[in-house]
C-alpha cells in the first residue's frame, strides 16, 4: 500500500531502542541470517555437481528448490551442443475415395531457422517452442519410444499439437488422419583448422504414426 | 575476542542501520522490469500460442503439470480467454509501474505474479533468460528497490518539502494553522490512493481464496517448504497494512523496529542476488573447464554453427572462421566466468571484468540471437556496478531529462530547477 518513502534518518539507532525492541531486532537478525544462509546453501548444492552432501540430502534440496528456484547454468557446458537436430513431420491424408496418401517430410526446424534468419529479436515460438518440446520428448521417453509417466504422455501430446499447428488440420482440402515425426541429427563439421574427421551421415530417430484426434488440434490463430 | 565482538556488532549495525545498495537495487528493478516489458511486447502477437488456452501447450496440459510440480500460475485458475488476456495485460501494466517505481512494494509483488504466471504456465518455452527474470522477480519482492529513481522517491521528496514548508509557515505566522501550506503535501494519513490499492489487493486475494480452485495453500505448494502462497500473499498484504498503521499512529519506536526489519530483509535479498550472480558464473565457468571443446579452444565455433542460434550466418562465419579468435574468445569466456567471483575482492579488477562481461553479453545478444537472455544477464551483472558510477549515471540522465523537458515546456522553468536541486539532495 504505502510506498517505501526512503526516509532513513536514523543510523545505527538500534542502540537507542528499548530492550524489547532490541530483542526483536536480535531475533530478526538471527532469522534473516539463517534464512539467507540456508537459501544460498540449497542453491549451491542444487547447482553443484552431485557430491556427498547433495546426494545424502537430495530429497530436502529438491523440496526446497523445486519448482520456483530451479536453475541450470550449465550454459554451453561442459561442451556446447555440436549437432543440429531438426524435427520433421509428415502427414497421412484421407482422400475423398477413402484411400490415404502420405505427404513429404516437412522440416519444421528449418522453418524456425528461416524465421530466426536476420531477425534481431527471435520469438520464443521460433527459438524455443519446438526445440525444447523435442528435448522434453527425448527426456521423457525410453529407447523404445515408450513414454515415462505423465510427463512422457504430455510431451507426446505437446509435440503432436505443435506439429498440427504448423501442418494445419487439413492439407489440400483433405483432413490429416495421422502424423509421423522424426528427428534428423547432423553433427556440426569440425573447424577447418582441426584435424578431426568431418561429420558422418545424419542419424534419424523415427517415431511411429500417431492418429490425430480433435484434442491434438491447437487453435492458436495469431501465428 | 573483543575485536570479534566489536566487528560483529559493527556488522549488525550496518545491516540493520540502512538499506545497502539502494542504487543497485533500483537498477535491478528498472532493468528487469524493462526486459520483461520488452519481452511481453515482443511476444504480444504470439501470446495465444505461447500461453493461451488453446495453444500447443494447452490449458489442460498446464493444469496437469502444475498440479504435479506445484509451480505457481494464476493462469490455471480459469480457462477463459478473458482471464488470460487480463493476466497478460496485468503483467504488462505491473512491468511499467515497477519500472517507474510507482507503489514499488505492491508492484514488485504483482510483477512477480505476472512473471511466475506466464513462465510457469508454459514452462517448456523458457530459456536461461527467463530463469534469470524468474529468480530476480522473486528476490526483488524482499528489497526496498524503490528508494531512488522512482515515483515513490519523488513523492516522498515532495511530501518532505511540503512538510518543511508548512513548518516554516507555521513558525512565521502562529495564527494560521498548518492546513494552508500543508494541504498539498499529503501527510502520511491522507494517502487515499495507497489505501485504495491496498484494499483492492486484499479484495482480489479474498476472491481468489474464496474461489477455492486456486490451489493457494497456507503451508504447502508454495515457494519454500512449509510456506504456501496463501501465507506469502496474505503475509505481504498484512505487512503493508502494518507499515501504514505504524507510520500513521506509532511513528516512534515501532516504526524504527519495522524499518530495521525492512532493511534487514532488503540487505539479505541483495546479498542473495549477488551470490546468485556469482553462482551463475561459477557454475557456467567450472562446468566448462571440464569440457574437451573448451579445453581445445574450439567451443565457441560450435554454437555459431547451430541453426537455432545463427540469426546472422555471415557474422557467425566471420567469427568462427578465425582460429585464433575462436581460441581467445573460448579461453577468455572460461577465464572470466571462473574468475569473476574472486575479483569481487578487488574493486578495480571487478569493475573491469564487469565491463568485459557486459560487452560479451551484448555480443551474445546479436551473434546468437539471444537479446532477452543477454539483457537479463546484463541487468543481473549490474548489481555489482559501483555506487559512484550509478550516481553519476543518474545525474547525467537527470540532466538530459531536464534539457529535454526544458526544451519542450519553457513555461515552468522555476519548478524544474527546484526539482533538479531537490534530486541532488536525495541520499
With a cut of 50, list the residues of chain B below it in pLDDT: 176-186, 411-427
Which residues of chain A does B226 touch, with a Cβ-Cβ cutoff of 8 Å?
A: none
Q: Least CB-CB distance to A28: which of B68, B264, B298? A: B264
Q: Which residue has the cell 543477454?
A: B374
pLDDT bin (cut points 50, 70, 90) of residue A4 is low
Q: How many domains does chain A have?
A: 2
Residue A1 lies in a domain: no
CB atoms within 10 A of CB A91: 27
DSSP B74-119: GGGG---HHHHHHHHHHHHHHHHHHHHTTTHHHHHHHHHHHHHHHH
Handedness of CA B165, B169, B170, B172 (dihedral sign): positive
Q: What share of chain A is helix, strand, coil (3-state, %, to 5)?
A: 40, 20, 40
Residue A182: pLDDT over 50: yes
The per-residue pLDDT for B415 is 40
Residue B44 in grid coordinates: 504480444
Residue A162 lies in a domain: yes
- Name the residue of chain A whose CA is nearest to B42's CA: A123
Tell me which of A38, A65, A92 is where a domain ends: A65
Residues A119 and A194 in one domain: yes
Count CA atoms within 13 Å of residue B413 on its CB side: 4
The per-residue pLDDT for A95 is 84
Residues A118 and A174 in one domain: yes
Over residues A77-92, the pLDDT tens digits come to: 999 999 999 999 999 9
Which residues of chain A does B262 touch, with a Cβ-Cβ cutoff of 8 Å?
A: 4
Burial class (CB in 10 A: 0-12, 13-18, 19+), B44: exposed
- Name the residue of chain B whose CA is nearest to A19's CA: B253
Whether complex ipTM tops 0.85: yes
Residue A70 lies in a domain: no
Residues A105 and A197 in one domain: yes
Q: Does B69 touch chain A (CB under 8 A)?
A: yes
Cβ–Cβ gap A218/B43 under 8 Å: no
pLDDT bin (cut points 50, 70, 90) of residue A13 is low
Residue A208 lies in a domain: yes
Query: Which B-chain residues 37-56 have CB contacts (< 8 A) with chain A?
Result: 42-43, 45-50, 52, 54-56
The per-residue pLDDT for A109 is 98
Q: How far is B175 from chain A (nearest CA, A)?
A: 30
Residues A171 and A210 in one domain: yes
Residues A60 and A147 in one domain: no
The per-residue pLDDT for B414 is 44
Which residues of chain A does B46 touch, with a Cβ-Cβ cutoff of 8 Å?
A: 123-125, 222-223
Q: Stretch A198-213: mean pLDDT, rounded?
A: 91
SS3 B220: coil
d(CA A81, CA A88): 19
Residues A148 and A208 in one domain: yes
The per-residue pLDDT for A8 is 47
- Name the residue of chain A whose CA is nearest to B311's CA: A117
Cβ–Cβ gap A78/B290 under 8 Å: yes
pTM for the complete prediction?
A: 0.92
Residue A107 lies in a domain: yes
Domain with A53, as residue range(s), is: 13-65
Q: With beta carbons less than 8 A apart as the criterion, state whether B21 and B383 touch.
A: yes
Residue A210 lies in a domain: yes
pLDDT bin (cut points 50, 70, 90) of residue A196 is confident
Residues A188 and A105 in one domain: yes
**Nearby residues of B288 by Cβ (< 8 Å), 6 or more positions away:** A76, A77, A78, B294, B299, B333, B334, B337
Residues A127 and A194 in one domain: yes
Among B17, B26, B49, the residue to mutate for chain A (most A Cβ within 10 A):
B49
- Name the residue of chain A whose CA is nearest to B426's CA: A6
Q: Which residue has the cell 540502512?
A: B18
**Nearby residues of B39 by Cβ (< 8 Å), 6 or more positions away:** B133, B372
Residue A73 lies in a domain: no
Residues A91 and A184 in one domain: yes
Q: With beta carbons less than 8 A apart as the criterion, state whether A65 and A40 touch.
A: no
The per-residue pLDDT for B179 is 42
Cβ–Cβ gap A74/B287 under 8 Å: yes
**Nearby residues of A203 by Cβ (< 8 Å), 6 or more positions away:** A184, A185
pLDDT greater at residue B165 or residue A7 = B165
The per-residue pLDDT for A5 is 52
d(CA A201, CA B327): 28
**Nearby residues of B368 by Cβ (< 8 Å), 6 or more positions away:** B303, B304, B309, B310, B311
CB atoms within 10 A of CB B200: 12
> How many angstroms from the chain centroid is the CA of residue B143?
9
The per-residue pLDDT for B421 is 37
Residues A99 and A187 in one domain: yes
SS3 A100: strand
Q: What is the DSSP letter of B227?
A: B
The per-residue pLDDT for B174 is 60
Residues A157 and A122 in one domain: yes
Residue A72 lies in a domain: no
Residues A40 and A140 in one domain: no
Amino acid at each position: 500500500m504505502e510506498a517505501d518513502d526512503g526516509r532513513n534518518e536514523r543510523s545505527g539507532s538500534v542502540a537507542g531502542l528499548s530492550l524489547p525492541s532490541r530483542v526483536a531486532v536480535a531475533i530478526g537478525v538471527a532469522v534473516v541470517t539463517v534464512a539467507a544462509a540456508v537459501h544460498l546453501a540449497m542453491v549451491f548444492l542444487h547447482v553443484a555437481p552431485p557430491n556427498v552432501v547433495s546426494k545424502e540430502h537430495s530429497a530436502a534440496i529438491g523440496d526446497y528448490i523445486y519448482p520456483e528456484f530451479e536453475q541450470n547454468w550449465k550454459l554451453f557446458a561442459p561442451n556446447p551442443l555440436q549437432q543440429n537436430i531438426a524435427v520433421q513431420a509428415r502427414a497421412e491424408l484421407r482422400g475423398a475415395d477413402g484411400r490415404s496418401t502420405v505427404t513429404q517430410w516437412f522440416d519444421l526446424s528449418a522453418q524456425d531457422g528461416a524465421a530466426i534468419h536476420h531477425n534481431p529479436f527471435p520469438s520464443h515460438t521460433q527459438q524455443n517452442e519446438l526445440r525444447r518440446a523435442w528435448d522434453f520428448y527425448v527426456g521423457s521417453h525410453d529407447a523404445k519410444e515408450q513414454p515415462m509417466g505423465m510427463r512422457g504422455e504430455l510431451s507426446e501430446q505437446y509435440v503432436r499439437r505443435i506439429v498440427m499447428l504448423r501442418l494445419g488440420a487439413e492439407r489440400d482440402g483433405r483432413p490429416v488422419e495421422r502424423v509421423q515425426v522424426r528427428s534428423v541429427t547432423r553433427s556440426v563439421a569440425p573447424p577447418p583448422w582441426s584435424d578431426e574427421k568431418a561429420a558422418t551421415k545424419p542419424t534419424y530417430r523415427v517415431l511411429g504414426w500417431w492418429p490425430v484426434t480433435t484434442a491434438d488440434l491447437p487453435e492458436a490463430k495469431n501465428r | 575476542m573483543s575485536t570479534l565482538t566489536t566487528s560483529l556488532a559493527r556488522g549488525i549495525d550496518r545491516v540493520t542501520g540502512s538499506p545497502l545498495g539502494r542504487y543497485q537495487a533500483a537498477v535491478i528493478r528498472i532493468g528487469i522490469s524493462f526486459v520483461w516489458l520488452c519481452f511481453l511486447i515482443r511476444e504480444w502477437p504470439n501470446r495465444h500460442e505461447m500461453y493461451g488456452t488453446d495453444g500447443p501447450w494447452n490449458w489442460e496440459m498446464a493444469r496437469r503439470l502444475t498440479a504435479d510440480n506445484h509451480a505457481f500460475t494464476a493462469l490455471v485458475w480459469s480457462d477463459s480467454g478473458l482471464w488470460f488476456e487480463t493476466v497478460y495485460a496485468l503483467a504488462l501494466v505491473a512491468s511499467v509501474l515497477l519500472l517507474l517505481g510507482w507503489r514499488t512494494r505492491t508492484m514488485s509483488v504483482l510483477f512477480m505474479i505476472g512473471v511466475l504466471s506466464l513462465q510457469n504456465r508454459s514452462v517448456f518455452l523458457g530459456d536461461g533468460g527467463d530463469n534469470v527474470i524468474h529468480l530476480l522477480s522473486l528476490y526483488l519482492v524482499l528489497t526496498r528497490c524503490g528508494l531512488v529513481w522512482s515515483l515513490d522517491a519523488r513523492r516522498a521528496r515532495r511530501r518532505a518539502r511540503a512538510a518543511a514548508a508548512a513548518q516554516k509557515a507555521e513558525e512565521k505566522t502562529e495564527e494560521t494553522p498548518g492546513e494552508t501550506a500543508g494541504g498539498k503535501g499529503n501527510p502520511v494519513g491522507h494517502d487515499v490512493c495507497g489505501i485504495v490499492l491496498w484494499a483492492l489487493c486484499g479484495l482480489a486475494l479474498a476472491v481468489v481464496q474464496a474461489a477455492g480452485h486456486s490451489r493457494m495453500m497456507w503451508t504447502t505448494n508454495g515457494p519454500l517448504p512449509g510456506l504456501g502462497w496463501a501465507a506469502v500473499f496474505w503475509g505481504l498484504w498484512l505487512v503493508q497494512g502494518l507499515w501504514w498503521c505504524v507510520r500513521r499512529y506509532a511513528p516512534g519506536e515501532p516504526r524504527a523496529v519495522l524499518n530495521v526489519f525492512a532493511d534487514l530483509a532488503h540487505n539479505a535479498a541483495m546479498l542473495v542476488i549477488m551470490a546468485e550472480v556469482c553462482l551463475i558464473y561459477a557454475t557456467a565457468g567450472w562446468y566448462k573447464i571440464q569440457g574437451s571443446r573448451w579445453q581445445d579452444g574450439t567451443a565457441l565455433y560450435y554454437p555459431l554453427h547451430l541453426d537455432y542460434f545463427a540469426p546472422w550466418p555471415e557474422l557467425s562465419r566471420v567469427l568462427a572462421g578465425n582460429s585464433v579468435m575462436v581460441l581467445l574468445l573460448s579461453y577468455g569466456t572460461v577465464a572470466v566466468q571462473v574468475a569473476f567471483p574472486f575479483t569481487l575482492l578487488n574493486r578495480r579488477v571487478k569493475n573491469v571484468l564487469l565491463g568485459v562481461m557486459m560487452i560479451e553479453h551484448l555480443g551474445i545478444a546479436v551473434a546468437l540471437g539471444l537479446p532477452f537472455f543477454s539483457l537479463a544477464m546484463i541487468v543481473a551483472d549490474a548489481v555489482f556496478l559501483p555506487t559512484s558510477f550509478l550516481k553519476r549515471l543518474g545525474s547525467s540522465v537527470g540532466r538530459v531529462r531536464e534539457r529535454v523537458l526544458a526544451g519542450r515546456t519553457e513555461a515552468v522553468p522555476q519548478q524544474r530547477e527546484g526539482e533538479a536541486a531537490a534530486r541532488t539532495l536525495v541520499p
